[in-house]
Structure formats: C-alpha cells, structure tokens
Amino acid sequence: MRSRLANALAARSVRPSNQWVCHDCRARTRVRWQHSASSAQKPYYITTPIYYVNAEPHVGHLYTSILADVLKRWHALLGKKSILCTGTDEHGMKIQQAAAKAGQDVRTFCDESYKSFKDLAREADIDWDHFIRTSEPDHRFAVQHFWLMLRERGWIYASKHEGWYSVSDETFYPEQSVQLALDRATGRKFMASKETGKEVEWTSETNYHFRMSALKDRLLELYKMNPQFVVPHTRMTAVVKEVEAGLKDLSVSRPVDRLSWGIPVPDDESQTIYVWLDALINYLTKANYPFQIPGFENTAGWPADCHVIGKDIVRFHCIYWPAFLMALDLPLPKQILTHAHWTLGREKMSKSTGVVVNPFFAIKRFGVDCMRYYLTLEGGIKDDAMYDNSFIIDRYKKGLQNGLGNLASRITRYKGYNVRRAVENCQGSIGQLDQDMSSLLVAVPGNASELMHRLNPGAALAKIMGTIYETNAYIQSQQPWQLDKPQDEEKLDRIIYLCAESLRICGILLQPYMPSKMKQLLDMLGVADGARSYANAVLGSDKDYGEPKYPLGTGPKGMLFPPLSSHF
C-alpha cells in the first residue's frame, strides 16, 4: 500500500527535479544536472540559521541576521540577483518543553512566538526574501521526501541507541565529550557537554540511524579540495580534526512518546525525525526542493553560496549537513561563515541563562543604522566581542557623528562651497587632483570587495570608514574655508570635488550596512537613484550630481547623524 507521502508525491502538479530520483537513475541524473545548471542564471543565495522560538530573540540573533543581510545587499550592489532566507525552527524537545512551561499547546505557542523574530527582521531592515517556519506544510513535505530518499538509498537503519543526550543542544554526545559539572548556585552536580556546558542525561532507546561513518573520507576530501569551505580558517581546522578523529553513525529520530512535536518518520509514526535533520533541510525547502523545473533547478538559488551561523552550531552545518547532502548526491553549499559570540560582562549571551540584550530596545535607543554599523564593525568572526552601550556611543560619535556625518555637513551644508560647480569644473582635470587622495578613492572599492569575498564584512566596513577618516584629515589640512578669493576658486573646487567624491563613493559602498542613512547621504549629494551601484563607485564616473534632492535645513534636523540624546 502506498504511504500518504507517496500519494501526495503523485498528486503534485510539478514533478520532482531530475537530481532527486530513484537509485537506478543516479548516473543519468548527474549528467542532466550538470547540463541544466548552466541554462539559467543562479542567484546569490545566502541564509541565516533558523532561530529557536523557545525564547525571545537577543542581540546575537540580530548580529547573525545583519551579517547575512550585508552580504546579500553587497551582491545586489554588484548587480546580482540575491536571495536571503531566514526564519524560525519550531520543532524539538526545547519547544515542546517551553510550550508546556507557558501553559499552551505547542502549535499556539509557535504561532505566537515566531512573530518576534519576524518583527526583529523588519525592525533591523533585513531584506529577506523567504521567512520559513519549520511547522509549515511544504517544509514537512520536503523533510519527509528527503527521509524517504535516504532510506531508499540505504543510508538509514533502525537500531538501539544509548548515550548522553542534551535536551538544550538537541544532540547526543559521545562519552569523551561529557564531564562532571557543578552548579555553583545550588551545589548540584550533573553531567554536561564539554563543548557547550549544557546538561546531558543518559538515554537508551530504539530509533533510526544515519550511516554517517561511511562518509568520513568524502567529507575529508571536500575539506581538502575546498579549504575555504568553513570561514574562518581556525574553525575549518577544528572541523577537519573532528572528522579525522572518526565519525559514528548519527541517531536521526526520537520515539514519539518522548518527542511528539516534530515531523513524523514516514510509515513509522512511532518515531519523530531528529530536529537537526528537519531544521537543516529548510535551506532546500525554500529553494523549491523537491519540486523544480528541469533546466531551471538553480534559479531558486541552490546550492547556497553562504550559510551564516554562530560558532555553536558548526558541527551540524559543517559536518552533518554536507554529509546528508552527499548521501543524496545533491550539490553542497559553497561556504559557511561561522562567527563568534557576543558577551555581556564577559559572559556569553544565552537565552537559557538570561544573559541577553533586547535587540528591540537597542534599535529604539540608538537607531537601526547605528546598530547595524556597530554590530558589523565590532562583532567577532574569529573571537568573541564584548557588548557595551558605552562602546556603541563611542563608535557613533567617532565614526558616524564626527566622521561621516561631520564630513557630509562640511561639504553639503556649508554656504561657501558649491558641490555642483566643483563636479562640473573638475570633470576634465581628474589627473590634476591630489594624488594621495585620488589613489585612496580609486583603491577603496576593490579593497572592500576583496574583504567581502573573504566573508569579512566588518573588515570591509573598517576599510571604507578609513577612507572617510582620511578625507576628514585631508580637508582639515587643506582648510578650504580660507579660500575665499576669486583666484582660489579652481583650487577650492578640486578640494571640494575630492571630498564630495569620497562621500559619494563611500556612500555607495556603505549602502549594505546602513541602507536608510546612506540613502539620505546620497540624496543630500544629489546622486541619481540609478547611479548608486558598485559600478558607479569609481572616481569621476558621475558627472550629474551636486544638487541636493531636498532642502537640507539647518541645525540637528538637517544632519545625517545628529548628536545622541543627552540621557545616553
């Protein structure tokens, strides 16, 4: 008798794409995939992890989303179609327990809890294309189909499993990865994961397993051939060492009497699919898996160009996820950006410990573009970063108010300067401009692009802001406010033109970081809407700007970055 999933497959109006077919067709499938992948342009596809809804979002979630958004917007700036996928993970034991604690049924709990994460994406100006919830029917269908394909190829088998299980981490840990720990507040001793410090309990159950151990060599070959697969290099090295040490088969289901809130195993409703197998497939779900049009498989984005994740979920994304995909001969993600954590009082932010910063309060207090700027500039990729309101105020004053904002006010609002005249008069004399400043402006787009290519948006931001600081030093040294005689007009125009070009070029490059403020800056300069791409960030390329798009006004109201309120 056909399963309900098989009947649903037959009922779909669009058939599964050629790469997801039966065992007998694999070789032919690979040929068709390679041929069809080039028939349509692939968008740049970037993802955030999907966030657990067991508690409210914190600044760490905001940082992850902003990193992904900056990279998505950067590729859009380059002229590429770009897709950003984010969303919420709504299955698993933590969700089940959080709902019980709240006195709600799990569906009602999830239907309310996911909204704060979607609201945060809106408040943070995240330009997402897909917001997925793992409780959605299409995702359930994709996961069950993925499971059936694994089973059809012989990658899944039933067996008794014993080991240390962490409810908080939703994973089993081997004996060598746990240790005795002490709760200092209560004096209670318990077994905990060495990696995360979360409590583990000894569990014995019969469930399904994935033949992870059989993929050790293929994973190591992947890492060898793609040394930038995991960024930064320190985590790439750690992943390789973990796989070299050996892989055990992975428990990929839980008895339904212990975990009922999740996606049932097809044809065995006594088992629930492991939450991490379920969650990782979300990246495929929004790329139309398993239903895609032959010849256009990659138009929805897959394979992902970049997964952005926190360092605490490296194992799942850098080992488990490529292993699952390899088992079905599916294309692998190109890179995984793993960032460090934010600490508060030198303690890692965590929903479970309550050491968190409310991101909604932070955005309301400092402004969305200020928070995007601060988190990207100061956030850690390799090493943890310490969050402090005084640091935000300092970066705002130095970089935004007195740096970028001060330069914008000097050039666009000072009555003695005429930006439009400077633009017109200097078009034919680019070679006569100050060589040091000219060279700086010529180099900054390429330097920023190279750092973005290395998945280091913070370093790229620092490079762009360095150009702003140099421009402020340049105008201070040239003192154009003293050039008030007719014979000084040519020199004055050259100084103002270079400063205006610095603002224009840097304003274009800073759009992925501070979308609304950079729109304001480019409007202040009178840059046309169609002249704001990366291709326009070239010294002397725009001959038509210089007149503001609206009256700039006087006082703080007309400033790009006005002083922070006194109570800060």
Residue 12's pLDDT is: 37
Domain boundaries, the chain: 4-362, 402-558
Percent of the chain with pLDDT over 70: 89
Amino acid identity for residue 392 in this structure: I
* Number of CB atoms found within 10 A of residue 482's CB: 10
Interval 412-437 mean pLDDT? 89
Predicted structure pTM score? 0.87
Q: Report the sign of the C-alpha dihedral through residues 199, 49, 348, 104, in that order.
A: negative
Per DSSP, the three-state class of 288 is coil
Q: Of the segments 83-97, 150-164, 188-202, 334-348, which one has the largest average pLDDT value? A: 83-97
**How many Å is the Cα radius of gyration of the chain?**
27
pLDDT one-digit tens code per residue, 226-283: 999 999 999 999 999 999 999 999 999 999 988 899 999 998 989 999 999 999 999 9
pLDDT one-digit tens code per residue, 439-466: 999 999 999 999 999 999 999 999 999 9
> By the 8 A CB rule, do 195 and 177 touch?
yes
pLDDT one-digit tens code per residue, 55-95: 899 999 999 999 999 999 999 999 999 999 999 999 998 89
Residue 106's pLDDT is: 95
Task: State how far the Cα of 107 lies from the Cα of 90, in Å rounded to an integer.
Answer: 9
User: 24 pLDDT band (50/70/90 cuts)?
Assistant: very low
User: 413 pLDDT band (50/70/90 cuts)?
Assistant: confident
State the burial class of residue 233 (Cβ atoms within 10 Å of its Cβ: 0-12, 13-18, 19+): exposed
User: 561 pLDDT band (50/70/90 cuts)?
Assistant: very high
Task: State how far the Cα of 332 lies from the Cα of 304, in Å rounded to an integer.
Answer: 8
Residue 353's pLDDT is: 65
Amino acid identity for residue 359 in this structure: P
Fold of 4-362: Rossmann fold (3.40.50)
Residue 418's pLDDT is: 93
User: 19 pLDDT band (50/70/90 cuts)?
Assistant: very low
User: 27 pLDDT band (50/70/90 cuts)?
Assistant: very low
Residue 483's pLDDT is: 85
User: 34 pLDDT band (50/70/90 cuts)?
Assistant: very low
Residue 17 has pLDDT above 90, yes or no: no
User: 199 pLDDT band (50/70/90 cuts)?
Assistant: confident
Interval 402-430 mean pLDDT? 91
Cis preceding linkage at 303, omega within 30: yes
Interval 514-532 mean pLDDT? 97
Residue 351's pLDDT is: 62
Pairing state between β 264-265 and 268-273: antiparallel
Residue 295's pLDDT is: 74
Q: Of the segments 295-309, 477-491, 554-568, which one has the largest average pLDDT value? A: 295-309
Residue 359 has pLDDT above 60, yes or no: yes
CATH code for the structural domain at 402-558:
1.10.730.10
Kind plus residue range of the DSSP H or E element containing 272: strand 268-273
